Amino acid sequence: MKGMLAQKENFIVSTDKSSLDLQYIHEFISHSYWAAGIPIETLQKSIEGSMCFGLYDDGKQIGFARVITDKATFGYLADVFVDERYRGKGLAIWMMSAIMSHPELQGFRNWMLGTRDAHGLYRKFGFTQLDQPERIMRKNDPDVYKVKGKG
């Protein structure tokens, strides 16, 4: 597979965007707690502007992650998932290892991510809670993906 980053048995992690199954990714992410209702066009645009990682079983996509980065100082890990049918096999840890060891993602001063329930996974890769959360600000529009008049 083009862009292959890692292989274990019949599983592959690849950075080849042309291998991504946009419909499959959209089906998962549009029903997630972090991006419910995201339009496929918005997801497509986010993929185009990110470094993406697909997880595959014999060529069938079973997971995804993307890193929003300048490839020099900062990375934001987003949209990480492994298909529910493949969980419990260590694939999320393996995919994260491939992402965090990618040559273009080394030497960053800061990495960030947001999670509701996967703190244990990310701690294995050095992620911690903010020491000084009062220094971090954000602008948030939780209803941005809701269709006007329907939500």
Cα separation values, 93 from 81, 97, 115, 135, Å: 11, 6, 15, 30
- Give the span between the Cα atoms of 60 and 20, in whole angstroms: 9
User: If you classify domain 4-135 with CATH, what class do you get?
Assistant: alpha beta
What integer pLDDT is reported at residue 148 of this predicted model? Answer: 58
DSSP-based three-state secondary structure for 130? coil
Q: Is there a contact between 57 and 74 (Cβ–Cβ < 8 Å)?
A: no
Which parts of the chain have pLDDT scores under 70?
147-151
What integer pLDDT is reported at residue 4 of this predicted model? Answer: 87
Per-residue pLDDT tens for 43-69? Answer: 999 999 999 999 999 999 999 999 999
What integer pLDDT is reported at residue 72 of this predicted model? Answer: 97
Beta bridge partners of residue 13, listed in sequence order: 6, 55
Provide the residue ranges of all domains of the chain, joining segments of one domain with +.
4-135
What integer pLDDT is reported at residue 3 of this predicted model? Answer: 84
